[in-house]
Amino acid sequence: MDFLTLIQILDSSVRLATPLLLACLAGLFSERAGIFDIGLEGKMLMAAFFSAAIAALSGNAWLGLLAGIGSSLALAALHGVASITFRGNQLISGVAINFLAVGLTVLIAQDWFQQGGRTPSLLDGGRFSPIELPFAIGPTEAEAAGRPLSRLLVEAGPLQQAYSELISGHSILVYLSLLAVPLTAWVLFGTRFGLRLRAVGENPAAVDTAGVSVVALRFAAVGICGVLCGIAGAYLSTALQAGFVKEMSAGRGFIALAALIFAKWRPWYALGACLLFGLFQALELRPDVLEAIFQTKIQGQLLGALPYIMTVVILAGFVGKAVPPKAGGVPYVKER
Amino acid sequence: MTAAAIELKSISKSFGPVQANKDISIQVQPGTIHGIIGENGAGKSTLMSILYGFYKADKGEVWINGKLTEIPDSQAAIAAGIGMVFQHFKLVENFTVLENIILGAEDGGLLRPSLAKARKSLKTLAAEYDLNVDPDARIDKIGVGMQQRVEILKALYRQADILILDEPTGVLTPAEADQLFRILDRLRSEGKTIVLITHKLREIMEYTDTVSVMRRGEMTATVKTAETSPEHLAELMVGRKVLLQVDKIPAKPAAPVLEIENLRVSDETGVERVKGINLTVRAGEILGIAGVAGNGQSELLEVLGGMRTGQGSIKLHGAPLPLTGSGANGRARRAAHIGHVPEDRQREGLIMDFHAWENVAFGYHRALEFQKGVLMDNAALRADTEAKMEKFDVRPPDPWLAAKNFSGGNQQKIVVAREIERNPDLLLVGQPTRGVDIGAIEFIHQQIVALRDQGKAVLLVSVELEEILSLADRVAVMFDGHIMGERQAAETDEKELGLLMAGMTAETA
């Protein structure tokens, strides 16, 4: 395997890690506030559809993004009402949201576009296109030189290869998601809101007796979760791919949950976990590279299962201890 | 005359059909320690929770420093200068002391300046009230006594002038409790008003200026502490005369039932908690294990009850019992006629969401009289539970009620009834009256003595020295996993046992 192939796989890892990272941070906010959310998957899927649909209709990716965030927020509000206001079971509410999203997206897609539950392929304005950073070799350089881009890259030096392939050429959402990591860390550990958010996930009674509203805090967390899931969904259908297809979230919401546990509910660890799981997904797409490394055929499904297996290992306590927020999953009731 | 710090006028509060507070009026004078005493379920905590905005009263007025004050939530209570230290601390365990103190009282959106400010004022408070705490220690790494200080500091940081403490000594060792009362004394001398909720007569008599007595949701009396007596207060609390002293005939110890030799027990983290002890419990006697909580008594009880493994030897009627392996579990111990009333009834004694009759069945559900072919005879279990409830005066005597809906005393009666009514040869009892009201304490003690008088052996573990001295015939004191000494209960006193509990023998003291 040469250096360029490695860079290409890492580049692909970053692309595939982005939705995981956004969903993982979404789950982090929610679970740190004590609301378990297995509905990340459903929210992403819903947002993926509405982003693609609105982008297709308007030809504007940003409008699509807004629609995606809005639809994800609506589902987040549903989860909030069920699990905070009515103190329902958070897992059941999450499962319901996942089912709802699978059914609704296809139903509405068929009604709107009559293309068998998908949206039309998005044209350029409807997608978040790659951003070429200065000095990087991209399609513009290839056009100017009149030669294929792949040739230019092969001829470039390793530093230029890494810069052009790995650092440059991603959509704005990828850079946004990377920025979200330090931002999340700062909000959680550097602000009053973060202190209260973490407290409400550990001991809501402490927050309540300190004169702060448990309900408002938890709704805020669930809302942030909705926004981040919305961006993740929009990324799937308007950046990673060009349009919505049935069940396109493909279990990413669950892998993000696995990454969250793997990361022990910490933002920087979440980045690491998502990049690692993104790498698995990237390798899954390159059986040729795998075969070259291991000198034998590796089943792609094994890589798909790896995040879950690693999470089980972590949960079993083999590698450090993953301690979830103490009040997670428990509706807050003032004691009698 | 200055206005009362707190004046409650005709407060009433119901939870469904249960009236927790009935038309309660009370005045608390500024700069005093005002005790509120009553049995469990008398409505003390409800009343104070109303004052702290945790519950809303159905009826009545709250006056703070002579002003009518609305307290719809805790924020309003804090603004009115009220601070509360709950029985179960409201602290975030994986936060530091400092983070817990500023939670909800931060200045501005960023943490750093808030923390810096809190660190400074914490220093001032520590000096002013003698309340030293490491601000950077994590809550789950410090002891309960320290955690309680953090709660007090939390209230003081919010500039509380009125401090309510709900059963503050329930979790403290005697030394920690003494320290707490020194702090409260200091606070009083600085002009703070303190409301002390407790069911311990001793604390009321020693530390309060005024005392109010509650019984079944009503305020039965408010008197100057100096003008009353423990007997009088106890009578006001339960509405009839009680004997604080357990009435019992001298023990007639017979053959050894339980013999413990060189028993060693380690906890989950591998730390040795019981370090090679020898004990014998004879038929017809109660052996009390005294000691400050955390000196190995819990582990001793658990290993005897089959909840934990150990090394060494234990014999029942001369026959060895396994300490490890498949024979060392609760089921095998019960089959060997050992009854076990565990220390923590809510975690180990009961399943709180299950019905009373299911809880009474646990551990004995395989008994033949409760089987109907391959099925369980639930009707028989319920009939059995009803009989036990009647005999032990469990209120309400409803086998269908979930365990969590009984008061602490009645929960304990359910556990004790289950274990004693099986007529065990050896009864293990841990903290039989923790969080239990006086009426139920008396009853449970009588049942334990009755079992002894039938010639059964009882091993009692309690951190309440008073309970050990009045109930046990013989006392062994545990300290740091060792038995410091054994005494006849009639020939010793609190002072001698207290020294042993602190790890001092007669020679070193």
For residue range B22-51, list pLDDT tens digits in order.
999 999 999 999 999 887 667 888 899 899
Please state, in angstroms and rounded to a whole number, the distance separating the CA atoms of residues A235 and A55: 12
Tokens (6 digits) for B164: 């309510």
Nearest by CB: B103 against A190, A206, A336: A206
The distance of A200 to chain B (nearest Cα, Å) reads: 9
Residue B506 clears pLDDT 70, i.e. is over it = no
**Nearest alpha carbon to residue B161 among B195, B136, B114:** B195
Query: Which residue would you say has higher pLDDT here, B351 or B434?
Result: B351
**Nearest alpha carbon to residue B330 among B368, B357, B303:** B303
The answer to whether B71 and B51 are in contact (CB under 8 A) is: yes
Tokens (6 digits) for B15: 């939870």
**Nearest alpha carbon to residue B68 among B113, B4, B125:** B4
Q: pLDDT tens across A166-195, in order? A: 999 899 999 999 999 999 999 999 999 999
Residue B395 pLDDT: 84
Residue contacts between A and B (CB atoms, under 8 Å): 74
Split at pLDDT 50, 70, 90, the class of B1 is: low
- DSSP assignment of B130-198, as one string? T----TTSBGGGS-HHHHHHHHHHHHHHTT-SEEEEESTTTT--HHHHHHHHHHHHHHHHTT-EEEEEE
Split at pLDDT 50, 70, 90, the class of B17 is: low
Q: pLDDT tens across B451-464, in order? A: 999 999 999 999 87
The answer to whether A224 and A31 are in contact (CB under 8 A) is: no
The answer to whether B274 and B264 are in contact (CB under 8 A) is: yes
Residues 6+ apart with CB under 8 A from B44: B36, B37, B38, B166, B197, B214
Please state, in angstroms and rounded to a whole number, the distance separating the CA atoms of residues A290 and A296: 8
Inter-chain touch B75–A193, beta carbons under 8 Å: no
Mean pLDDT of chain A: 92
The distance of A257 to chain B (nearest Cα, Å) reads: 22
Residues 6+ apart with CB under 8 A from A222: A30, A33, A35, A37, A76, A77, A79, A80, A84
Q: pLDDT tens across B395-414, in order? A: 889 999 999 888 888 999 99
- Of A209, A213, A332, A336, which to mutate for an interface test with B (greatest number of B Cβ within 10 Å)? A209
Residues of B with CB under 8 A from a CB of A: 15, 52, 54-55, 73-78, 84, 86, 90-95, 99-100, 102-106, 108-112, 114, 154
Residue B504 clears pLDDT 80, i.e. is over it = no
Q: How open is the CA angle A45-A49-A55, to the nearest 5 degrees? A: 140
The distance of A205 to chain B (nearest Cα, Å) reads: 6
The average pLDDT across B364-390 equals: 92
Q: pLDDT tens across A5-60, in order? A: 999 999 999 999 999 999 999 999 999 999 999 999 999 999 999 999 999 999 99
Residue B200 pLDDT: 77
Split at pLDDT 50, 70, 90, the class of B488 is: very high
Query: Which residue would you say has higher pLDDT here, A1 or A139?
Result: A139
Q: Any chain B CB within 8 A of the CB of A330?
A: no
The answer to whether A287 and A297 are in contact (CB under 8 A) is: yes
The answer to whether B60 and B8 are in contact (CB under 8 A) is: yes
Residue B507 clears pLDDT 60, i.e. is over it = no
The answer to whether B443 and B413 are in contact (CB under 8 A) is: yes
Instruction: Give percent above pLDDT 90 in chain B.
Output: 62
**Nearest alpha carbon to residue A199 among B139, B105, B114, B92:** B92
The answer to whether B416 and B460 are in contact (CB under 8 A) is: no
Residue B239 pLDDT: 66
**Dihedrals phi, psi of B218, to nearest 5 degrees:** -115, 155
Split at pLDDT 50, 70, 90, the class of B448 is: very high
B6-238 and B256-501 have identical folds: yes
Strand arrangement, sheet containing B193-198: B82-85, B162-166, B193-198, B33-38, B210-215, B218-224
Residue B382 pLDDT: 95
Q: pLDDT tens across B164-219, in order? A: 999 898 777 778 888 999 999 999 999 999 999 987 778 888 999 999 998 878 89
Q: pLDDT tens across A72-107, in order? A: 999 999 999 999 999 999 999 999 999 999 999 999
Q: Any chain B CB within 8 A of the CB of A205?
A: yes
Inter-chain touch A206–B92, beta carbons under 8 Å: yes
Please state, in angstroms and rounded to a whole number, the distance separating the CA atoms of residues B147 and B134: 11
- Cut 0.80: pTM above it: no
Residue B509 pLDDT: 44
Please state, in angstroms and rounded to a whole number, the distance separating the CA atoms of residues B387 and B273: 40
The answer to whether B202 and B4 are in contact (CB under 8 A) is: no
Inter-chain touch B93–A326, beta carbons under 8 Å: yes
Phi-psi region of B203 (alpha: psi -120 to 50; beta: other; left: phi over 0): alpha
Q: Which residues of A touch B74 (CB under 8 A)?
A: 208-211
Secondary structure string (H, E, C) spanning chain A? CCHHHHHHHHHHHHHHHHHHHHHHHHHHHHHHCCCCCCCHHHHHHHHHHHHHHHHHHHCCHHHHHHHHHHHHHHHHHHHHHHHHHCCCCHHHHHHHHHHHHHHHHHHHHHHHHCCCCCCCCCCHHHCCCCECCCCCCCHHHHHHHCCCHHHHHHHCCHHHHHHHHHHCCECHHHHHHHHHHHHHHHHHHHEHHHHHHHHHHHCHHHHHHCCCCHHHHHHHHHHHHHHHHHHHHHHHHHHHCCCCCCCCCCCHHHHHHHHHHHCCCCHHHHHHHHHHHHHHHHHHCCHHHHHHHHCCCCCHHHHHHHHHHHHHHHHCCCCCCCCCCCCCCCCCCCCC
Residue B189 pLDDT: 94
Inter-chain touch B90–A210, beta carbons under 8 Å: yes
Q: How open is the CA angle A134-A135-A140, to the nearest 5 degrees? A: 85
**CATH assignment of B6-238, given 3.40.50.300, 3.30.1020.10, 3.50.50.60, 3.40.50.1820?**
3.40.50.300
Tokens (6 digits) for B96: 């530091």
- CATH number for the region B256-501 comes to 3.40.50.300
Residue A335 pLDDT: 60
The average pLDDT across A260-283 equals: 94
Residue A336 pLDDT: 47
The average pLDDT across B354-380 equals: 91
Q: pLDDT tens across A129-177, in order? A: 899 898 888 888 888 888 888 888 888 888 988 998 899 989 999 999 9
The distance of A268 to chain B (nearest Cα, Å) reads: 19
Please state, in angstroms and rounded to a whole number, the distance separating the CA atoms of residues B39 and A138: 80
Nearest by CB: B90 against A196, A198, A205: A205
Query: Which residue would you say has higher pLDDT here, B466 or A167?
Result: A167
Q: Which residues of B touch A326 (CB under 8 A)?
A: 93-94
Split at pLDDT 50, 70, 90, the class of B148 is: very high
The average pLDDT across B477-482 equals: 90
Residues 6+ apart with CB under 8 A from B339: B419, B420, B422, B424, B426, B427, B428
Please state, in angstroms and rounded to a whole number, the distance separating the CA atoms of residues B495 and B226: 25
Residue B40 pLDDT: 65
Please state, in angstroms and rounded to a whole number, the distance separating the CA atoms of residues B338 and B334: 5
Residue B7 pLDDT: 94
Residue A299 pLDDT: 81
Nearest by CB: B103 against A190, A195, A336: A195
Q: Which residues of B touch A193 (CB under 8 A)?
A: 109
The average pLDDT across A204-217 equals: 94
Q: Which residues of B touch A205 (CB under 8 A)?
A: 90
Inter-chain touch A209–B109, beta carbons under 8 Å: no
